[in-house]
A and B are shown apart, each in its own frame.
Chain A
Amino acid sequence: MSYLSKVFINPRRKAGLRYISNPQATHAAIMQAFPPETEIGRPLWRLEKEGTRAHLLVLSNLRPDWSHITEEAGWGDAEGAQAKIASYQPLIDLISRGREFHFKTTVNPVHSTTSPQGKYAKEAATKTALNTPEGKRPRGTVVPHKTVAHQTKWFQDRVERWGFELSPLNSNTSSPAGKAFTLTNRNVLKFKHTKGSQITLNTATFEGLIRISDPEVALNSLLNGVGQGKAYGCGLITLTEPQ
């Protein structure tokens, strides 16, 4: 059983601001929505900003309790729902081959290379020296895609592996790549890990039309997320009715 939640975040409160700016804090708070010693698995989430408003979308395999977030980063005693929880089953039932959806996802496009450039070269050299036994092929270094072209290509190349295909262009929609999807937002997130190390994530948000090509693989991508950075708000694909 899976649940989708929407938790409204008040940007005028200190804790609210922390959730908006620090994915590490958000991740920790989301993990606290489930009781100990339960199979939490890996909740997927995404922070959505609309003008000055913000909310969290969270997909989890257990029913969560958001009161700890709404208490410190919500609207206190104000009227109205501060969080919304719905079963994901109705959507799961809709997943069938050839069905078309409007999608939105924020991902962390990265690739692995054995010949990294710039600051990654030094890092790779140290790692290789420390971890590679004699005669073994060294593991690649994970390097982010930083340009629009690279991020778009990364997405296009992987969509099929995730069980989807990009819908062909129709008359109502347009995008530069000749496919009915667009890169709507790009971000570089920089924040501190609890252990003190600096984390940098290059994220990209894609929106558009996709069609289910392999229902089993697609369902796995929807429930378990895609790509890297899942703890930090990347990899959740949400589907809505195409307009």
Chain B
Amino acid sequence: MSQQHNPILVLRLRGPLQSWGISSQFNRRTTENVPSKSGIIGLLAAAEGRQRTASIDDLLELKIGVRIDAPGTQLRDYHTVANFDGSNLLISDVNAQGHQKRGDSKKQTLVTKRYYLQDAEFIVAIQGNEQLMEKLAYAVEHPRFPLALGRRSCIPTGRLLECNENGQKLWRGMSLREALSAVNWRKKPGVSEPYRLPVILDESSDSIKDGMLDSITDVPVSFDPHKRGFTSRTVRHIWVTPPGLSPEAEKNRMMSDPFSLLGAE
């Protein structure tokens, strides 16, 4: 139960574009609909100024929960790759010396598919031990490397760190689920108001007996370019109704009963 009382760091991820790839390969770079654990750990590691080859073992012990405040829509970017001097692109084939060969002269430009989420907004709650969370809270406010929402070109908008109602950077004495139900929902212009929000929570795999559990392969083993790999984690899907939403208003609109003016039966 000590995990219950560990401090929680809350981030609000929003920006014109986000992109959270977990299974992308080659020229097709897709995005998931929610931030991945590798993306969030990568963001924290970048804030602390860790090199790619540095250990991330302490960060892997963090528990995270993601709330979808605005799901956003997918965007496919028309993206091309070419050599600036007009020479042919390198291909995967190698010559006898082990050097990459150059491709066909007809293919000087390559089209690649890059997917983004536009107008999405997420609340991410991260729970871990006291010392580490203090360090991470400071690092997010004073990042050593530029922070990005899943891809280097996706710049966050506004303040990342979401303080609690007393203005403290860490949320204490509550579970991840309670923290995600307590963070304000902010209305965005032109977005219709939901009456509850979906949440994806890290869950220990021994609680697999009750349903609504799912497995996602997005836990990094290392960010070292030569040792990359991923393992999976178990997550639970729940709903929360945070402050800022007015489920009653929605209910009243739906319930406008044409019998209300007809009196008793």
Contacts and interface: CB of A to CB of B under 8 A. Distances in A.
Contact of B254 (A50, A57, A88, A243): A50
A91 B259 CA distance: 9
Contacts of A90: 261-263
Contacts of B252: 243
A5 to B, nearest CB: 10
Nearest to B256: A240
B262 A104 contact: no
Interface string A1-31: 0001010000000000000000000000000
B71 to A, nearest CB: 19
Contact of B262 (A88, A102, A207): A88
B254 A4 contact: no
Nearest to A94: B261
B258 A4 contact: yes
A91 B262 contact: yes
Nearest to A59: B258
**Best-surrounded residue of B259, B263, B265 (most CB of chain A within 10 A):** B259
Contacts of B263: 86, 90
A240 B257 contact: yes
A156 interface: no
A131 B253 CA distance: 48
A238 interface: yes
Contact of A239 (B253, B254, B261): B261
B95 interface: no
A86 B261 CA distance: 10
B109 to A, nearest CB: 38
A33 B256 CA distance: 26
Given A50-B254, A240-B256, A84 B261 contact: no
A194 to B, nearest CB: 30
B256 A104 contact: yes
B265 A57 contact: no
B92 to A, nearest CB: 47
Nearest to A81: B265
A87 B263 CA distance: 9
A165 B216 CA distance: 54
B258 A240 contact: yes
Nearest to A87: B262
**Best-surrounded residue of B252, B258, B265 (most CB of chain A within 10 A):** B258
19 contacts: A4-B259, A4-B262, A6-B259, A57-B258, A84-B259, A86-B259, A86-B265, A90-B261, A90-B263, A91-B261, A91-B262, A104-B256, A104-B258, A207-B253, A238-B258, A239-B261, A240-B256, A240-B260, A241-B260
The list of the 8 closest CB pairs from A to B, nearest first, reads A238-B258, A86-B262, A240-B256, A90-B263, A91-B261, A90-B262, A240-B260, A86-B265
